């Protein structure tokens, strides 16, 4: 059976997909901010001097990394059914990717030369001052490209939010396709929008990696 591409469907669905893209972008930006901040806190907690902190932190992190994000989304949506779905989606995205970003931060912190730590102790710098002025600036600089790549990965996984009724771009593509029997056009258009948004960002991350000497 020959298939005829429906350009009218593309034209009609584009405004809907654009509205959904705004939600997709919002979820990505806020989710990345949550993941970046929370991941850093988890990485620092993992270096605490007591196992009362490090063991629970590692256990929770491993649990999050070992379970699918789709299961986490559905579980959170079921438990917190009075909370706005978009808020749940952003929170789950942030927590899920924080478990991965924490390992990136850990690697960056471990890459800071031991002499930097020893110099801080020799100067009698407080732990807070040591982290803020010496360790974190070097660690974050080393891992910035990897953090950016996780942000791109999060952007491409925002379609999972459709399962908890968040009206992001793929949600609109599916709804319009179901109403007009034009799945090919709407999902192709959604894919092209994802490509147009993520590919330039990927190129920017590569340039950043080269500039930082990675």
Closest CA relative to residue 143, chosen from 177, 116, 108: 108
**pLDDT value of position 1:** 58
Asked whether the beta carbons of 97 and 150 are under 8 A apart, the reply is: yes
Q: What is the pLDDT of residue 171?
A: 93
Q: What is the pLDDT of residue 42?
A: 94
Q: Which fold has domain 24-165?
A: MetI-like fold (1.10.3720)
* C-alpha to C-alpha distance for 178 and 213, rounded to whole angstroms: 48
Q: Which residues contact 40 (CB under 8 A, 6 or more apart)?
A: 101, 102, 105, 136
Other beta carbons within 10 angstroms of residue 56's beta carbon come to 11
Q: Return the pLDDT at 72.
A: 96
The tens place of each residue's pLDDT in the chain, 214 residues long, gives: 577 888 999 999 999 999 999 999 999 999 999 999 999 999 989 888 888 889 999 999 999 999 999 999 999 999 998 999 999 999 999 999 999 999 999 988 888 888 888 888 888 888 888 888 888 888 888 888 888 889 999 999 999 999 999 999 999 999 999 998 889 999 999 999 999 999 988 888 888 777 766 5
State whether residue 167 is helix, strand or coil. Answer: coil
Which of 14, 47, 5, 201 has its CA nearest to residue 136? 47
The model's pTM? 0.89
Whose tokens are 């850990």? That residue is 106
Residues with Cβ within 8 Å of residue 74, at least 6 apart in sequence = 163, 164
Q: Looking at residue 150, what is its pLDDT?
A: 93
The predicted pLDDT at position 202 comes to 86
């Amino acid at each position: 059976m020959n298939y005829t591409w429906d350009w009218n469907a593309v034209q009609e669905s584009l405004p809907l997909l654009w509205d959904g893209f705004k939600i997709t972008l919002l979820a990505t930006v806020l989710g990345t901010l949550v993941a970046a901040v929370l991941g850093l806190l988890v990485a620092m907690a993992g270096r605490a001097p007591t196992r009362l902190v490090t063991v629970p932190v590692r256990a929770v992190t491993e649990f999050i990394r070992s379970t699918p994000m789709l299961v986490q989304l559905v579980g959170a949506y079921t438990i917190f059914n009075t909370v706005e779905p978009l808020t749940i989606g952003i929170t789950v995205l942030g927590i899920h990717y924080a478990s991965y970003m924490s390992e990136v931060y850990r690697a960056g912190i471990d890459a800071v030369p031991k002499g930097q730590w020893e110099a801080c102790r020799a100067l009698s710098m407080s732990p807070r001052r040591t982290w803020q002025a010496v360790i974190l600036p070097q660690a974050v600089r080393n891992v910035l490209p990897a953090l950016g790549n996780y942000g791109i990965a999060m952007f491409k996984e925002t379609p999972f939010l459709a399962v908890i009724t968040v009206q992001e771009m793929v949600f609109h593509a599916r709804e319009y396709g179901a109403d007009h029997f034009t799945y090919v056009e709407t999902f192709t258009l959604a894919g092209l929008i994802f490509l147009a948004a993520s590919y330039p960002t990927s190129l920017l991350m590569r340039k950043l990696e080269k500039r930082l000497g990675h």
